Amino acid sequence: MAIPIHYTLSNFKSRKLTTAITIAGLALVVFVFAAVLMMAAGVEETLQATGEPENVKIVRKSANGEISSIIDGETQNIVQTLPHLAKGEDGGVLNSREPVVVINLTGEDGGFSNITLRGVSKGFGPMRPNVEIIDGRMFNPDLRELIVGEAIRSRFVDAQVGSTIDFAGNDWLIVGEFSAGGSGFDSELWCDASQMLDAFNRGNSVSTITLKLNQASDFEVFKTAFEKDQRLQQFQAQREQDYYGEQSEGLAGFIRVLGIFVTVIFSIGAMVGAMITMYAAVANRATEIGTLRALGFQRRSILVAFLIEALVIALAGGVIGVALATLLQFFSISALNFQSFSEIAFSFAMTPATVISSMIFAIFMGIVGGFLPAVRAARLSIIDALRG
């Protein structure tokens, strides 16, 4: 015979304070757990949003990131002869030959941070349709001028429109601010590739080449032609979005491992709190348990009833924790990307997977915290229970 659910739920009224404290503890742990997953998801979404589906990224195979990749001038010309490449109005292949380095900027706290500086070719516009100037103007390719991504302008005193930055022995003027739709490009400084190569004395060797295909479905055919060319064996071609997506794996993985480690420590305290609450409920309701047993309710019914109480507490904590975590979506933070050795700004991202994982974690804590007290309640003998 099963114990009515309304009886189980009504018992919360007799221990409001301890139940509320336990729910708060569980909610805090779930909040931290969800925040960690949201941070990792935010990094992944930011970098996966970097690039266009029709764009192909060419890098050196041995390079861990763009700053360690080098592509010589001869290779740049060979790549442009491959099939299925889109052409501009002038009949030339749409491509952006991009040198990439890391420079230092002064943050709001007075410290220095690494920021990616990217040189882009004059015809990069059709390849970056989501990039738009939101303040000031586009840089002049004949001058030492820069445009700054919107994600870093507010965090660095040197990254203001009208400010001058000194690097590579030259003063560079920031003439505009651009938005790249929340992608990783928003955390970069851009300038003309030729000006940048000249300033760093790099000749015509760039870090990467970005090419635009006629359509995204042409990638496999393009890649086959690329891999068959013996002159390109030291290089690899990837979809631009896939390339930047892989760049997120190191940072996202580190955040998950570190965050989950901290969360597990917190969860032990939360489960102990739930266990204490449920043990107190068993002690306070020993006579009720004895009465239920005398009325014919079986031990497993008592066990299930107390487990349901623990699960209700856990679900309440989980819902509150997830609800609080959703507020983090209004905040942005930055972290060092291990692949590029530069800062990347990103927002917390709440995903269905994060909600499901957080609720499963809450239920797990509820079951672990409530199981032993539930077993204790089920094993009470009728006589001992009635004696209180």
Write phi, then psi, for 172 (nearest 5 degrees).
-115, 130
The pLDDT score that the predictor gives to residue 250 is: 72
Q: pTM higher than 0.85, yes or no? A: no
The pLDDT score that the predictor gives to residue 333 is: 77
Are 97 and 121 spatial neighbours (Cβ–Cβ below 8 Å)?
yes
The pLDDT score that the predictor gives to residue 13 is: 62
Residue 178 to residue 274: CA distance in whole angstroms:
50
The pLDDT score that the predictor gives to residue 269 is: 76
| HSE toward the beta carbon, residue 19, CA cutoff 13 A | 17
Low-confidence residues of the chain, pLDDT below 50? 1
Strands 188-192 and 112-120: parallel
Residue of 286, 299, 354, 303 lying closest to 324 (CA atoms) = 354
The pLDDT score that the predictor gives to residue 249 is: 72
pLDDT digits (tens, 9 = 90+) for 68-87: 899 999 999 999 899 999 98
Structure tokens of 82?
Answer: 């491959």
Please list the residues that pair with 102 across neighbouring strands: 116
pLDDT digits (tens, 9 = 90+) for 168-179: 888 999 999 999
126: helix, strand or coil:
helix
The pLDDT score that the predictor gives to residue 23 is: 83
Characterize 275-314 residue by residue with b for buried, 16 or more Cβ atoms within 10 angstroms of its Cβ, and e for exposed.
bebbbebbeebbebbbebbeeebeeebbbbbbbbbbbbbb
The letter for the amino acid at 286 is: A
The pLDDT score that the predictor gives to residue 1 is: 47
Question: Cα 330 vs. chain centroid, distance in angstroms?
Answer: 14
The pLDDT score that the predictor gives to residue 72 is: 92
